[in-house]
Structure 1
Amino acid sequence: MCGITARVGDDDSLEALLGSLENLEYRGYDSAGIAMQNGSELAISKCEGEVSDLRSELAFTGQNGRVGIGHTRWSTHGPPTDENAHPHTGCHGRVAVVHNGIIENYAELREELRTRGHEFTSDTDTEVIPHLVEEELGAGRDAETAFRRAIDRLEGSYAIAMIVDDDPTIYATRNGSPLVVGVGETANYLASDVPAFLEFTDRVVYLEDDDVVAVTVDGHRITDATGDPISRSIETVDWDPEDAEKGSYDHYMLKEIHEQPMALRQTLHGRIDDDDVVLEEFPSGTFDDVSRVQLVACGTSYHAGMYGEWLLSNWGIDADTHIASEYAAYPAPVDENTLVIGVTQSGETADTLEALASARRRGARTLALTNVIGSTAARTCDDALFIRAGPEIGVAATKTFSSQVASLVLLGERLVRDVTGEPTEDHRQRLDALESLPEHVEMVTQDTLATAISRRWLGESGHFFIGRGNAYSVALEGALKFKEITYEHAEGFAAGELKHGPLALVTPETPVFAVGTGEHRNRLESNINEIQTRGAPVIAIAPRNATELADTADEFLPVPATHPDLVAILANVQLQLIAYHAADEMDRSIDKPRNLAKSVTVE
C-alpha cells in the first residue's frame, strides 16, 4: 500500500521526486523519505509524517542529485517512526532501497544476516534487502547481479527500487505489487502508480511479475528472472495531468464527487446505441455459455458488486457477491460456466487478485472490472471492462463507485441478452435513464441540502443507514464513507433487519439515513415509523416525487426521479456529500483518513 517512486534525469531530480511523492500520498502517509545519488555517495532524508514534513526538512539540507528514489509509507512492520521510514540502507550506506509489499521470510533472513555481523536499525521487513545486496557487492558482484541475487532470496509480495552509491542506474522489480516505468524526453521514472509522474510524461511501460528493469537517463532495459531481455510495449495514458490535481477544491474527495457527471459520461460513451448495449470488448454472444456469476471485491467495490448482484438476480441470472479475502480463503464452487468478476478500482487489490487467481485455478472464467488499463487484474483475467472514471486520488472512493455500478448495469444487460436470448423487461427505460444519469448527478451536486443536514444531525452515539433492494448496498456504502472520513461510528443495515436486533441501538442521539428508490415505499415508511417511535431522527433520501417519505421523515434529501434501478446511485451522491461535510465540520483529514490507504496491495 506504500507508494514508491524514482527518477533519473539530466538535471536535479529532487523537486520532481517530492512532487511524485505528494501525488502518491493516497497510498500511505505515515512517513516519507528520499535517497539521492550525487555521483559518489548517497544522501538520505526521511521522517515520520507526511511528505510536507519531509519537504520542510529538505529545505535545510541542500540535498540534490540526478538519480533518486522516494517512498511514502503505510505501516505494516513497525510503527510510523523516523527509523522505520524508507529508504533503507545496509551497514555501509552503499545501497538505498524503497519497497511496497511484505517480505514474508524477513525474520529468517534478518536472523541469518545478524549471525554474519549485520546490524539493523528498524523494525521493518524491508531492511533485509539492502543488507543482502551489500553482501553481494562485497563479494565483488556488479550492482545488477547483486540485486538479482538478493531478490532471489525474498518470499512475499513486493515492488522494489534500488540505487547504489557509484552507479547512475535505478534497479527495480515487482512481484505481486504494481510498478510502472514512465518514459520521458530528458528523464525517466518509476512509480507504484501513473499519477506519480503524469505531469512529466504520459508514456508508460507496465511491468509484469519477476521483471527486472534497469533505468538510466538514456532509457530502460527489462529482463526476466533469468536475465534474458524482454520487450514490453510503451503505452500512452489518456488521463489529463489536471485530473490528478485538486484545482480550486479544498479536497480531492469533494473534487471527485463533483467529477462524477464527467466520469459517468466517460463510462457510458459509445456504449449505448438506441435500445442496445455496445461493448466492444464483449460482442453479442460473448457470454452464451455463462450459467452463474460471482462477484469478488473489497470495500466500496464490494458494495458496487452487491449492487450488480441485485440487478443480475432481478434479471434472472444466478449471481452472488463475495468479500474477496473470504473468497480466497473459502472459495465458492465454480465450473467452466462460471464467470467470476473482480471489481477493483486499481486493479491491484491483493485480496481481489488472489480471489481471481483461485477462481482461475479451478477452471472459472474471470473478468476484471477496473479503472486502470495495464493493471494486474486487467492483464491476468480472461477479460476486462474498464470503467473509464479517470484518476481518483481521495482515499475514500466516490466517482469510481458510480462508474462501477454504471458499468455493471451495461455488463448485466449484455449478460442477460446472451444468457437468456432476450433483453431485460424494461431495458429501453433503463438505458434512457442511464444516459440521463450524468445530468441527474450534476443536479444533485449543484442543489443539495447535505451541508446543512450534516451539521444539524451529527449524532452523539452513532449514525445508521438503511435501505431495501439495491438501496441496501448504498446504505452500506454510505455508512462506510461516513466512518472512513469522520471516524464516527456508522452502520448500514437492510431496512427490514432493524427489528431483528439493531433497533436496540437506536436512541434520540442516533440519526438514521433511510434510502428509498421509489419501490416498496410503504415498507420503508413503516421502518421509518419504527425508528421515530424510539425517538431517533430520520433523514430520507429518495426521489423528489416520494412525497409520503418527505412527509414522514424529519428531513428529506431529494434526488431526481428516474428508473428505480438507478435512484440509489443518486442517493449515494447525497450520502457522499453528507459524509464529506460532516468530516469537514469536524476538521478531519478527509483525503488522508487515519490508518487507511487507497490501493490495498497487501493481504
Structure 2
Amino acid sequence: MCGLIGYSGPGKAAPFILDALKRLEYRGYDSAGIATVSEGRLLYKKDSGKIEEVESKQHLSELPGHVGIGHVRWATHGEVNQVNAHPQLDNRSIIAVVHNGIVENAAELRQQLKSEHQFVSTTDTEVIPFLLAKYLKRTGSMTGAMALAVKELRGPFAFLALCQTEPQVLFACAREMPLLLGNGAGGSIASSDIDSFPEGYREIYALENGEIAVVGADNFRFFDASGNPIHKKAGNVQRQSGFAVDDSLKHHMMREIREEPWAIEQAVIQDEAGMAQAARAVKSAKNVIFTACGTSRHAALMGRYLFSRVGGKLSEVIIGSEFKYFADSINEGSVVIALSQSGETADVLEGVRTARARGAKVISLVNRPSSQLSRLSDLVFPLKCGQENAVAATKSYIAQITVLALLSHYLVGQQQMITEKLKNTVPLVELAYETNLKKAECVAAYIAKFNACYFIARGSNFHIAMEAALKMKEVSYVHGEGMPAGELKHGTLALIEKGTPIVAICPDDYTFEDTIHNVEEAKTRGARIFGVSDRCHPAFNECFRIPKVEEILYPFVTIVPLQELAYFTALARGVDPDRPRNLAKSVTVK
C-alpha cells in the first residue's frame, strides 16, 4: 500500500518526483524518499513522516540528476523510521529500490543472503536490492539481474530500481500489483497510479506477470519474467474531471461529501447495453456473489438489499479477504460482482482471480478504468466520481449505490423510472448536506468526549449504520459499531450506560415503528439518542432532519449527515480527517 514514481527525461528528476509523490500520498504517508543518479553516483534522501515533513528535513527536491525514483510508504514490514523508509539500497550503495507489495519469502531470502550481505533494515524490501546486486555481479546487466531476482521473489509486488552502472535508465517490474508506464514531451514516467501522470500522457503501458521494463528518457524496452524481449501494446487512458468545489472547504473529505450530488449525476449515466447484459447474467445466474472490502462492502450490502427488494434475486456478500474460503461454491453458473474504488484492492483481486479460474462471470464497479480489476472483469461499470483524495471514502460510496440502484431496476425493466428518480434525488442530497452542517458540528462536540458510539437501523438503512460506524472510527478514532436495530438487545445493550451516544437511522418508512421500539429500549438504559429522520420522534434527544423520499432512496439522504458527523468529530478531537493514522487509501496488500 505504497506509492511509487520513477522519472527519466530532460528535466530535473527530484522536483518532478516530489510533486508526483504529493499526489500519491493518500497511498501511504508513514515515510518518503527519493533516489537519483547524477554524474555516475547514486544519491538518495529519505525519512519518516509526511511528504512535507520529509522535504522540510531532507530537502528531497535538491537531489541532482535526470533519472530518479521515489516512494511514499504505508508500513507492512518493519516499524516506521528513517532506516526502514525507501529507497532501500544494497551494501555497496550502487542499487536503489522502491517497492510496493510483500515479499512473502523475505525471511528465507535473508538467510540465504546474510553471509555476503549485511542487512540494516527490518523491511522485506531490502532483499530486493541485495538479490539484484548478487545477480548483477553474475550477469553484468541489470536486465539479467532483474530476471533472475524475480524468479526468487514470492508474492505480489511492484518495484522500481536505479543502478549506478547504468545511469541513463531506470528499471521496473510488477506481478499482480499496479505499475504503469507512459512517455510524453516531459519524459518517461513509471508509477503505481495514473493520477501521478501529468496531462498529455495518453498512452499507458501496464506491467503484468513479472514483466520487466527498462525506462529511458524517450523509450521503453520490455521483457518477460525470464528476460526475453517482448512487444507490448499501449492502452489509451481517459481522465475524469472533478467537480469544482469551493476552495474555502479546508479538507478533502468535506469537499468530497460536498461533491456527492454531482457524483450521483455522473454515476447514473451508464452504458445501456452493458447494463442490460449484466442484468441478464444476474437473472440467469445460479448464484450471485458480491465481493468487496470496507466501505465498498457496505455498498455491496445495499446491492444485496436492492436485488432482493426490487428484483426478487437473492445474493450473498462475501468480504474480499474471506472469498477464497467460499471458492468451492463458485462455478460457471456464478456471477461475481466486485466493488473497489481503486480497482487495486488486493483481497478483491485475489477473489476475482479465483472466480475467473472457476469459470464465473465477473462484473465490476470501479472508479479507475485503468485498474487491474477493470482488466480482469467481463463487464465494467465506472463510478465516474473523479479522484477521491481523502482516505475515508464518501462520494465513491454514493456513486456505488447509485450504480447498484440502476442495475437492480434493470432486472425488472424499470431502468427509466429509477434513472429519473435518482436524478430527482440530487437536490435532496444537496438539501441534506446544507440542512445538517451546524447540527453535525454540535453533536460531534458531544460524541468526541466518548470512546464509543453505536449506530442502528433496519431495512435499506442497515448498511448505512455500518458505513457511518466505519466513518466514525476511521477518521475520529471513536469506536463506531453499526448493527440492525433489532440486534441491539442481543448483547450490545450491556455496553449502554448514562450518556452513551446512539445514532438511530429511522426514516418514516415501514421500519419506523420497530426502530423506535429499539430506541426506547436503549434510552431506558440511559443512552442519548440522535435520530436521523424525516419524522423526528420525541424519543430522540436531537434529530438530523432529512428530506422525505421513497423507501429505497433513503440511504442517499441518510448517509450525508452521518459523514458530516464523522468529519466534525475528527475535528473536535484534533484529528486530520484526510489522513487517519495507520490507514491508506488503496489497500494493495493482503
| Gapped regions of structure 2 (runs ≥ 5) | none
Aligned to 2:516: 525
Aligned to 2:400: 404
8 Å CA contact 1:195–1:244 kept in 2: the answer is no
Go from structure 1 to structure 2 and tell me whether the alpha carbon gap of 1:7 and 1:372 turns closer, same or farther (over 3 Å shift). same
For each residue in 1:192-229, what CA deviation from the matched residue of structure 2 results, as whole angstroms up to 9, or x when unmatched?
11122346745533333322222111122333224232
Please tell me the residue identity of whatever aligns with 1:446.
E
For each residue in 1:248-277, what CA deviation from the matched residue of structure 2 results, as whole angstroms up to 9, or x when unmatched?
431111111111122221111256xxxxx6
2:370 to 362, 371, 374: 374
Go from structure 1 to structure 2 and tell me whether the alpha carbon gap of 1:188 and 1:43 turns closer, same or farther (over 3 Å shift). same
Go from structure 1 to structure 2 and tell me whether the alpha carbon gap of 1:343 and 1:130 turns closer, same or farther (over 3 Å shift). same
How do residues 119-134 of structure 1 correspond to structure 2 at under 5 angstroms? 119-134=118-133
Shift of 1:245: 10
SS in 2 for 1:75: coil
How do residues 171-182 of structure 1 correspond to structure 2 at under 5 angstroms? 171-182=171-182
Go from structure 1 to structure 2 and tell me whether the alpha carbon gap of 1:517 and 1:331 turns closer, same or farther (over 3 Å shift). farther
Aligned to 1:563: 550
TM-score with structure 1 length normalisation? 0.92
2:477 to 487, 492, 509: 487
How do residues 576-591 of structure 1 correspond to structure 2 at under 5 angstroms? 576-591=563-578
8 Å CA contact 2:32–2:50 kept in 1: the answer is yes
SS in 2 for 1:393: coil
Does residue 502 of structure 2 align to residue 512 of structure 1?
yes
- Cα distance in 2 between the residues matched to 1:246 and 1:599: 26
Aligned to 2:450: 460
- Cα distance in 1 between the residues matched to 2:194 and 2:353: 24
Aligned to 1:309: 304
Does residue 217 of structure 2 align to residue 217 of structure 1?
yes
More displaced, 183-192 or 324-333?
324-333
8 Å CA contact 1:458–1:511 kept in 2: the answer is no
Please tell me the residue identity of whatever aligns with 2:396.
T
How do residues 98-113 of structure 1 correspond to structure 2 at under 5 angstroms? 98-113=98-113
8 Å CA contact 1:459–1:511 kept in 2: the answer is no
8 Å CA contact 1:293–1:319 kept in 2: the answer is yes
1:535 to 502, 526, 529: 526
Aligned to 2:265: 265
Go from structure 1 to structure 2 and tell me whether the alpha carbon gap of 1:270 and 1:239 turns closer, same or farther (over 3 Å shift). closer
Q: How many residues align?
A: 584
Shift of 1:459: 4.6
Please tell me the residue identity of whatever aligns with 1:483.
K
Aligned to 1:162: 161
Go from structure 1 to structure 2 and tell me whether the alpha carbon gap of 1:431 and 1:29 turns closer, same or farther (over 3 Å shift). same
| Percentage identity across paired residues of the two chains | 34
SS in 2 for 1:295: strand
How do residues 346-425 of structure 1 correspond to structure 2 at under 5 angstroms? 346-414=342-410, 416-417=411-412, 423=413
8 Å CA contact 1:5–1:189 kept in 2: the answer is yes
Go from structure 1 to structure 2 and tell me whether the alpha carbon gap of 1:564 and 1:281 turns closer, same or farther (over 3 Å shift). closer
8 Å CA contact 1:430–1:565 kept in 2: the answer is no
8 Å CA contact 1:340–1:356 kept in 2: the answer is yes
SS in 2 for 1:69: strand
Does residue 315 of structure 2 align to residue 327 of structure 1?
no
- Cα distance in 2 between the residues matched to 1:255 and 1:190: 29
Please tell me the residue identity of whatever aligns with 1:295.
F
Shift of 1:363: 2.5
8 Å CA contact 1:356–1:366 kept in 2: the answer is yes
Shift of 1:140: 4.6
Shift of 1:383: 2.1
Shift of 1:567: 0.8
Please tell me the residue identity of whatever aligns with 1:110.
R
Please tell me the residue identity of whatever aligns with 1:380.
L
- Cα distance in 1 between the residues matched to 2:253 and 2:573: 15
- Cα distance in 2 between the residues matched to 1:460 and 1:144: 56
SS in 2 for 1:78: coil
- Cα distance in 2 between the residues matched to 1:340 and 1:481: 26
8 Å CA contact 2:184–2:201 kept in 1: the answer is yes
Shift of 1:432: 2.9
- Cα distance in 1 between the residues matched to 2:175 and 2:85: 21
| Gapped regions of structure 1 (runs ≥ 5) | 272-276, 418-422
- Cα distance in 1 between the residues matched to 2:327 and 2:244: 37
Aligned to 1:232: 233
